Chains A and B, each alone.
Chain A
């Protein structure tokens, strides 16, 4: 790893190529099961609020995210979990420490180089959906492909497949304001998936949703994970975190707990949704979603 690290400061193209090749391997899939896809080493982040006020958001955090795992980062407001998410999402450079995507050190990359890696390797799902207004579901999903330089024909095709995967194949031409919150979040998931990223990063993805939509969204995350996609959820809600296999707890800028959830404690989102639907007197219909997801 150190060897690779030492000669990866060539052009941004070389950097990107290395990152992408490592993550995908020659067959186009992300490395092998269990391999580290993203790692932060002893990361500190200090915000200079004024001349003599500093906020230490992260105080030396080390974390490895392995391919195929579903991880939840949990912490209270002000714990540093958002800063950690921004670091993992390559939206921000740490004050000190190192960030690796695969074997490649991305700590000192420029904003443009990071933008390119984010575009290809990280899918974001935000609490407030963050879709472009007055833009169809199809065009919203296609947006990362626009910046990846994919041609219009292929963009439409891949975006449609991604939307069908989240059960919105019938709503390609709907603008965000014509969709429910749950549907908007599914568009956001399709957008996160369309570039086939190494990691899908969810920032409080159910925070703005009603119960039912929240449960539905969690079924999607679990299904995606079952299909081999690495999922990292950032949340303050332990119940959301318990859908993951692994929970990393952060407090005061430090990781205070990192544990695997025993299978019997892990929440199965499908069962949870069924139970909820039953409790409100509606028949479980998750099979429909599964069918749509398979299509």
Chain B
């Protein structure tokens, strides 16, 4: 008997029990759908982060007040933050090969009248506009003297502008940041991007780092950003930064280039995606066990049919292939429906703007491959039992 015949018989057996087939497939459908959905979100977030970071320029070095070991272990709370003296030491040591800005960061509440939102505050020096290639949609950058005086001026992100000022001209208006009043002097260009990274500056307020220190209520500097004028100088700049900070901080600091940050974030998201995918695969496994269960029921229900088939000439292989194809058909159909639903869900999530989500070909291929494997793996044992039935016993079966 050829494959087409086995396929026809299997299809007929499944269509005779449609509700049961659908319920059996449901396990695989949910499993595959979860894998596709979670991996898509992981991929989307990863793409989003990478895109944002790459948009900030390539020859930027971030210096953080944590040892590399602590950073590697995901420690986000340093024992001591930088001070402005540390920043000055770095800037002096680098001489003329790079431009430097301290970074003071916090999350807080913004409000204008009755409008409120949560967003990030990033305090930097006037050099920030060069370090991060910030482009303004309108208004102006704050000046060095405003940085020195800790002036209450703010440059707001495009999204903050839209939500707080509803497209009315915001320049010259007041915005309340953590109960302190700031005058809007500029609006950054819309960067776009998903909700995770918040489009970088789109959902944030940029201000002199001295002003940001008023908001945080501390003299701490959370990070130092360095941009070399020449990409060739990156390594040299990193060793100069080390020389400047070693006597001041011991080993409790580390520096990373833009690429390293991108790689690290990418690796973190990949681990997260892998974990989520792994958890979702467990439901695929459960779906497979469901298939095996129903195939065993099916074999015992159809014992007599198997006896008839064997009596009139079906060989072990014929019976085996009939049942394996039936279980593969269940899992593949379930897999296809799961892929379709997962892709649809991923598209829905991306369209709603809740999370970035990208269906990758490899996740579809992997889910499909897994659903076939589940069908084969969990179908072989029931099929083997069917094929080993003794025709005489099977014919006697009531």
Please state if B311 and A147 are interface contacts (CB–CB under 8 Å).
no
Is there an interface contact between B313 and A147, defined as CB atoms closer than 8 Å? yes
The answer to whether A4 has its CB under 8 Å from any CB of chain B is: no
Segment of A22-30, A35-43, A113-121, A232-240 in the binding face: A113-121
Q: With A126-B395, A130-B395 as given contacts, are A144 and B308 in contact (CB-CB < 8 Å)?
A: no
Majority secondary structure, B binding face: helix
Contact of A115 with B304 in the complex, beta carbons under 8 Å: no
Cβ of A144 and Cβ of B312 under 8 Å apart? yes
B308 touching A147, Cβ below 8 Å: no
Residues in B whose Cβ lies below 8 Å from that of A149: 1-2
Contact of A124 among B1, B16, B312 (CB under 8 A): B312
| Complex: chain A residue closest to B317, CB-CB | A112
A64 lies within 8 A of chain B by Cβ: no
| B interface residues, how many (CB within 8 angstroms) | 22
Contact B1–A146 (Cβ < 8 Å): yes
Closest to A120 in B: B313
Which residues of A lie under 8 Å from residue B189 when comparing CB positions? none
0 or 1 for each of A81-119: is its CB under 8 Å from B? (1 = yes) = 000001001011000000000000000000110011011
Chain A's closest residue to B5 (CB) is A146
- State which residues 139-154 of A face B: CB under 8 Å: 143-144, 146-149
Which size class do A's interface residues fall under? 20 to 34
A116 contact set on B, CB distance < 8 A: 313, 315
Known: A86-B392, A134-B16, A149-B2. A112 touches B315 (CB 8 A): yes
Q: A132 within 8 Å of B by Cβ?
A: yes
Given the known inter-chain contacts A86-B392, A91-B391, A132-B305, please indicate yes or no for A147 contacting B312, CB distance below 8 A.
yes
Where the two chains meet, the residues of A that have a C-beta atom closer than 8 Å to any C-beta of B are 86, 89, 91-92, 111-112, 115-116, 118-120, 124, 126, 130-135, 143-144, 146-149, 191, 195
* B392 contacts across to A, CB distance below 8 A: 86, 91-92
B312:A191 contact, CB within 8 angstroms: yes
- The chain B residues found within 8 Å of chain A, CB to CB, are 1-2, 5, 12, 16, 304-305, 307-318, 391-392, 395
Tell me which of B304, B307, B317, B391 has the highest count of chain A C-beta atoms within 10 A of its own C-beta: B391
Residue of A whose beta carbon sits closest to that of B304 = A130
Which residues of B have CB within 8 Å of A111?
Answer: 315-316
Q: List the B residue with the shortest CB-CB distance to A135.
A: B12
Bound-complex Cα distance A92 to B304 (A):
17
Report the separation of the CA atoms of residues A283 and B16 in the bound assembly, to the nearest whole angstrom: 42
A209 to B2, CA, bound (A): 36
Q: Which of A92, A126, A147 interacts with B314 by CB under 8 Å?
A: A147
Bound form: Cα–Cα A68–B2 in Å: 34
